[in-house]
Structure formats: structure tokens, C-alpha cells
Amino acid sequence: MKSFSAIVLAASMASAAPVFGAAPPPPPNVLIILADDLGYNDTQPFGQDVIQTPALAGLAQEGMRFTNFHVNPTCSPTRAQLLTGVDNHLAGMGAMGEYRTPEMDKHPGNYIGSLNDRVNTLAEVLKERGYATFMAGKWHLGGKPEQLPGARGFERSFALINPGGSHWDNKGLLAVQPRTRFVEDDKTVPRDTGEFSSDLYTDRFVDYMKAAQQAGKPFFGYLAFQAVHDPLQAPAADIAKYRGKFSEGYDAHRKRLFANMQRLGVIPAGTRMSAPAPLFKPWKDLVPDERAVQERIMEIYAGMVDNLDSNIGRVVDQLKRSGQYENTVIVFFSDNGPSAAYMDFYPGNADGSWIAKEFDTSFKNLGAPGSFAGVGPGWAYASSAPFKLFKLVMTEGGTISPLIVKGPMVSKPGATNDGYLGVEDIFPTVTAMTGASRGEARKGIPLEPLKGQSFLNVLDGSATSARAPDFERGAELFGNKEYRMGKWKLSWLPEPFGTADWQLYDTDADRGETEDLAAKHPEIVKQMAAKYEAWAEANRVIRWDTQYLADQLFNYFDWRKGMPRQIIDQS
């Protein structure tokens, strides 16, 4: 069977020489659909058996599931790496823009909280290729005019600029950013019509897609859902579907999901479940009122996932009605692992005063407009099962993501693949399948090197892995350090999440990161630690002020200091 890359090559040659016989296939449309804070096992293709996700199940059946795909442990660094194929530090998003230290000024362009001029985006290169380009949803890659979607290649856009906020209006997520900002085609617009976020973004996205179809152009669309990021909110009908469905509690739910994942083969055989950190009470120890709150929280979360899937179904239905479905590549994944936070975690929220002033935190209002609740560690641990920890931390629970790719080049529909992939690999894969060129410079400034590698050869069946068995890859965020060398993963995490020293894991045998092998293989640790330091220097990674990180981020989840609490008025 001829590989899809060969077909693309033939198509590009067709423009330069006469061709007799059948016309070359049209270039594929490309849609990237991104969920926010969705856990690896939160959908049916990856182990979920309570929350219904038929649209994603259909895409998995017609496409491929990738079970060793990794992102950054928080959102905007993942988005930067996705859209550019470049390491997040070199792309300008060495850390989220909400966090700054003086040390960052020593690396101009690496820690600016937006994309810099040393990278091109997928939208920019595909627009140059003749594609219509559009996006709807969460941007979180800068809010200055030169940083907005239109300035980075999207011809049409409707975007949330902030990290998050209400799913119904412009109420913010952070006390330091009490109102969110929305732009349409880079012009600030009100958010006052009351639609649920996933419905609103999909409405705009489908409109933009229809316009591209009517123009007769191939199209690149980026649908970046705000769901399932907190605050947990969903339409009442979606929540109602799941009333009473989670009464068994998060401990039993986690074990059942683990069994489902083993049965489906979306984790390696022999994977052991990581032990949960003592950040929440065992379900059996909760009093009835506590159980009622926790059940409602998960019912809302399930409604958000269900609604997200329904909106993906709307996109698929439009593609089928227009006859474009078969020639459209659809890429779906989550930007990081599930969040274990409650709402007092975010900047400015700690004392609860802004929350009390702005929101109705009563039990009866949970999930509705004006509510303000987070998932918390109990359910987050179920969503990250069987992996270690969650969003924010550079562990499997924070970085493994459920990737589905459906498209005409997929040679084995319904297959799974466990070869290592990173979010940066999507950029070169898309350029390979569309024949687009990244170029050498942007505004006369040389481009940073690609971090990603195309996995088109995996999709078309000509290879089983995009990387060699002894591949190497470094990563860092908020002082969490990682270096991979084939099956080996070297990890440095602050206490109590790690040992504040290098730890070593065999990710083929122990993806749950349950057994530190550093003491057994000191020579491997020494070798990989040196490789990490060389990588960090080449990527201009700062040496963080550890006290700043503890105060701003990690103390909240430090179980030695106690358990986080949901701010809920039970009256």
C-alpha cells in the first residue's frame, strides 16, 4: 500500500508537470480539537464507562488511539508547543504568563507569556499553503494585538484570552483577573448572551467551517474547548443525566476505571496503580453531607464531558453533511492531566473573600451560572488512574493525554499505538500531510529548531513508532524536570511530590511510577542527569526560585500542610 506521505509528494509534483489519468487527491482538511484539563480515562475510548462519549468513540473506531502521548502539565505551554512544534521555552512560553520572576529577564523571548517571533504557527504555514484558517475557544497565548489569533495566522477567530473563567459569561477565574476578555477577529467583544461555553465555541466554529467549505478551500480549524476546566458548570439537562451515577465514590470509581483500561489495552500489561497522595479523605470516611457534595461535583463534571462530546458530534455531523468528512483529519486530545484544585488555589483567591463576594457557592447552585467549584483531588485521582499525581506536576498523571487521530491516511482503523509521542509532533505531522512548509524565518528572524517529529508513518502503517527505541527528550515546567531516554524516565520533583533529587523509572514496565530505580542504576542516572543539564542550557531554562514556586503553586498540594477544602455553603 502506498503511504500517505508518498501521495502528498505525488500531489506536489503534479503542479510542476503534466499528469495524465486520475486527478491527485485534494489536500486534507485538518481539525484539532483540544479539551482543557480532561483526564486520560475520562472518555469511553480510554476506559470511561459511566460518562457517555459516542462521538469520540466513533472517531477512535475510525482512527487510531495513541496511549503514550505526552503534553506539558499545564495549559499554555502545551498550546505553544502544539501550534509551533517548538519546545515551549524557545517558543516564548517557558512558564505560564501569570507567573514571573526576575530570572526570566536573562532569557529574552523565552518567558514572555505568549508566542515570540522565533516561531511560526500551524495557522500561519497552512494559510500560506492556501488553507482557510479559523479557531474558536480558549487562546491563552497572549492578549496584545500582535499576540492575538489573527496576528498568528487565524483568518477568523472567537477566543477567550484568559486562562479560564465562567462558562456562561465574563466572570473571571482569578481575583487578580476578575473579568475575562473575549475577542472576535482580534476585536474585543462582550460575553453577555448566556450560552454555555462549549455550545458557543462550537456555534462559531461550525459557522467558520461552513464559510470555508462554501469558499471551496481546504481548511484548518482549531477548536479549543474551555471545558472541562473549572469552575465546574454545565447545562442542567447534561448534569441530570448523571444524577446518582457516582454514588460508589471516587475510590471505587478509580479501581473500576483501572480495570477497564487494562481490558481495553490502553495501558501496558502489568502496569501497577500508583498510590494516591493523602490529599483527600477515603470515601468510606466521608459524612453524608460531604458525600453529597462530592457526588454532585462529579455529576457536573460528567455533564461537561458529555456536552463536550455532543459538540464534537455537531462538528462531525456538519462534515458529513457537506461531504468533507472522509477527507478531514481530526486530532483530539487534552492539554494536560486532570486538575486536583479547588477554587481557592488560583492567584488572589486564597482567603475566599472574592469568591464570597462574586459567586453563589450554595449546594443547590452547583453547576449553574454563578457557581464556583473545582474537581478536587479525590475525583482527579480517578481521572488520572493509574498514573501518579495530576495537572501541574511533571508525572504521567500530569502529562499523559488521550490522543485520537482520524483521517484518510489511517491504515488500521480502530488500532492503538503505544509508541512515545509528544505534543510537538503534531506540527510536523500536519505539515507533512498537507505539503506545507514551515519556512526558515518569521519577520526576518530565524526560526527556533523544531522539537517535534512527524508520525505520519505511524498513521499510514509504514512504521510502528515515530521515534527510535533509544530516543531522547527533555522537558521542564515550574522546576519539574524530566529527561527520557528510550524506556527510561529521569524525574526531579520537589518534596513531597518527589524526593528533591533525581528519580528513575522504567516506563515500559512501570508507567504508574511506583518504583524508583535510581539506587539500582546510578550510572544511568548520572548519564541522564548530564544530558538533562545540557538540554536545559540549550533551551535556556531558568533556575527557579524554589520558595516562589512553593508559595505560588506547590504548597497548596503539599499534604504535609493539610488537605485542600472546597468552598461550599451547605445551607
Per-residue pLDDT tens digits for 499-525: 999 999 999 999 999 999 999 999 999
Q: Is the pLDDT of residue 284 over 60?
A: yes
**Burial environment of residue 537 by CB neighbours within 10 A (0 to 12, 13 to 18, 19 or more):** exposed
Q: Judge whether 140 counts as a catalytic residue.
A: yes
Q: Of all residues in the chain, what percent are helix, strand and coil, respectively (each to 5)?
A: 35, 15, 45
- Mapped onto helix, strand or coil, the DSSP state of residue 416 is strand
Q: What percent of the chain has pLDDT over 70?
A: 96
pLDDT of residue 13: 37
DSSP letter (8 states) at residue 502: E
Of 75, 89, 229, 253, the catalytic one is 75
Q: Is the pLDDT of residue 174 over 50?
A: yes
Of 70, 89, 140, 253, the catalytic one is 140
> Phi, psi (5° rounding) for residue 313?
-60, -35
pTM: 0.95
Q: Cα(508)–Cα(520) distance, rounded to whole angstroms?
A: 17
Q: Judge whether 89 counts as a catalytic residue.
A: no
Whose cell is 504568563? That residue is 97
Average pLDDT over residues 198-227: 98
pLDDT of residue 2: 39
pLDDT of residue 570: 65
SS (HEC) of 200-258: HHHHHHHHHHHHHHHHCCCEEEEEECCCCCCCCECCHHHHHCCCCCCCCCHHHHHHHHH
pLDDT digits (tens, 9 = 90+) for 42-67: 999 999 999 999 999 999 999 999 99
Residue 1 pLDDT grade (very low, low, confident, very high; cuts 50, 70, 90): very low
Sign of CA dihedral 498, 75, 430, 26: positive
Average pLDDT over residues 191-211: 97
Tell me what the pLDDT averaged over the chain comes to.
Answer: 95
Other CB atoms within a 10 A radius of the CB of residue 143 amount to: 17
- Please, are residues 439 and 447 in contact by the beta-carbon 8 Å criterion? yes
Residue 118 pLDDT grade (very low, low, confident, very high; cuts 50, 70, 90): very high
Q: What percent of the chain has pLDDT over 90?
A: 94
Average pLDDT over residues 80-105: 97
Q: Is the pLDDT of residue 351 over 50?
A: yes
Question: What CA–CA distances, in Å, run from 256 to 33, 273, 382, 512?
Answer: 27, 12, 9, 16
Q: Which residue has the higher pLDDT, 20 or 175?
A: 175
Residue 418 pLDDT grade (very low, low, confident, very high; cuts 50, 70, 90): very high
pLDDT of residue 571: 58
Least confident piece of the model among 13-27, 90-104, 412-426:
13-27
Average pLDDT over residues 241-259: 98
Q: Cα(344)–Cα(348) distance, rounded to whole angstroms?
A: 8
pLDDT of residue 14: 39
Q: Is the pLDDT of residue 6 over 50?
A: no
Residue 21 pLDDT grade (very low, low, confident, very high; cuts 50, 70, 90): low
pLDDT of residue 25: 83
